[in-house]
Amino acid sequence: MTDQSSDEAKLHRKLAVELFNRAWDLLDKADRTQEEADEMIHAAHASRYHWGQIGTPLEFERGEWQISRVYATLGRAEPALYHAQRCLQICQDNGIADFDIAFAYEAMARGYAVAGDAGKSRKYLDLGNAAAERIEDDGDKQYALGELKSVAALLT
């Protein structure tokens, strides 16, 4: 890798991380303005773009997961499901399991919950819970199960 391409890769990585974290901060914010909601969408997409330049399938699927979560949080089912499906497909195509496959199923369940399709949401909740039970790290397992529970709460 040349110095220039190495510098470009470092810049892509830096921007990908910073934008992912910015989108996450806005996801956690309860009282977002419309401008912040728009910024959250743009930050998540921009992070995924930068990971797409230098990342691996793991970063690609995590970026797709975050974009899905942003749209689901904003009540926009169609793009939430599109990006959830991309996340799941990347996991399946690359043998990505453990924490990440559980969250791919969580994204599908959340997207279908936002879309008002309780049956499909429950299907993916079941798959997500089964995958979460296989997560090796107990902290990650509990976190995943908690997020899946938050999706189930949307269905009641």
Torsion over CA: 62, 64, 65, 70 (sign): positive
Angle subtended by helix axes 34-54 and 3-28, to nearest 10 = 150
Please state, in angstroms and rounded to a whole number, the distance separating the CA atoms of residues 36 and 3.
Answer: 36
Angle subtended by helix axes 57-73 and 98-115, to nearest 10 = 30
Backbone φ, ψ for residue 135 (5° rounding): -65, 130
Please tell me the predicted confidence (pLDDT) of residue 2. 47
Res. 156 pLDDT band, cuts 50 70 90: confident
Q: Which residues contact 27 (CB under 8 A, 6 or more apart)?
A: 40, 69, 70, 73
Res. 4 pLDDT band, cuts 50 70 90: low
Percentage of the residues of the chain whose pLDDT score is greater than 90 = 96
**Per residue in 76-120, pLDDT tens?**
999 999 999 999 999 999 999 999 999 999 999 999 999 999 999
**Could you tell me if 130 and 109 are in contact, meaning their C-beta atoms sit under 8 angstroms apart?**
no
Examine the pLDDT at 44 and tell me if it is beyond 80: yes
The residue extents of the domains of the chain are 1-55, 77-156
The answer to whether the predicted template modeling score (pTM) of the entire model surpasses 0.85 is yes
